[in-house]
Amino acid sequence: MVGEAHETRDVVSQILQVKPDVVLMDISMPGQNGYEAARNLKSAIPAIHIIFVSMHLEPTFIMEAFRSGGEGYVPKQTAGSELLSAIQHVLKKQPYISPLIPEDVRNTILAQMDGIPGSELTGRLTPRQKEILKLVAQGFSSKDIANALEISQSTVAFHKTQIMQALGLKSKADLTRYAVMLGISSLE
């Protein structure tokens, strides 16, 4: 059986009714992000297989997808050619990570899934960078962050750039999306 939902509240209720073997999940969804939906689904139906299909190729997004219960990750731009293989892998209880994802990222994720401690893809943020990331997640502008932390706006911009480099993000918009998706509690 095949179903489709566009909001996470619909996703969870449909999946609980239909009980599919595999769910294709996007990270960015109205109402709740895909990470939270995946956690809720895995909690309700532990045997369900979740494959994330996303436009996000940054290491931090991919790692969070697997941490939230995903077993596969396919970029939207290659979904047409990769989904069948991804589904076959996860049904055999084998993780699937698109070949489009850099090898070092794939290796780190697979190692961590096997319980081998590896380097964190989220990088090592300084306490000040974590503080700035929290404020970004709360919706503060650079000017507001500068005022709140009593630093200059150029210092805020510098820290945002350093955070983006540490997290493998490419734009300030990616940084904001990541901060919001990550949520405040996971940085505390």
The pLDDT, as a whole number, for residue 184 is: 47
The band of 6, judged by pLDDT with boundaries at 50, 70 and 90, is low
Cβ count within 10 A of residue 143: 10
Provide the whole-model pTM.
Answer: 0.64
Question: What is the domain range of residue 40?
Answer: 8-113
Residues 59 and 96 in one domain: yes
For residue 163, give the H/E element and its range: helix 153-167
Residue 159 scores a pLDDT above 70: yes
Clarify whether residues 46 and 70 are in a common domain. yes
Sorted by sequence, the CB contacts under 8 Å of residue 92 that are 6+ apart come out as none
Whether 25 maps to a domain, the answer reads: yes
Domain with residue 26: its CATH number is 3.40.50.2300
Q: What is the arithmetic mean of pLDDT over 93-117?
A: 77
Say whether pLDDT at 61 is over 50: yes
What pLDDT is recorded for position 67? 86
Does residue 122 form part of some domain?
Answer: no
Per-residue pLDDT tens over the stretch 15-46: 878 888 999 999 887 777 888 889 988 998 99
Compute the C-alpha angle 68/72/75, nearest 5°. Answer: 105
Tokens of 101: 């994802």
Q: Show which of 81, 113, 145 is a domain's final residue.
A: 113
pLDDT tops 90 at residue 129: no
Other beta carbons less than 10 A from residue 48's beta carbon: 18
The answer to whether 162 and 14 are in contact (CB under 8 A) is no
Task: Count up the domains in the chain and report the number.
Answer: 2
42 and 50 in contact (C-beta within 8 Å)? Answer: yes
Same domain, 135 and 173: yes
60: pLDDT strictly greater than 70: yes
- Our separate counts of H helices and E strands in the chain read 9, 4
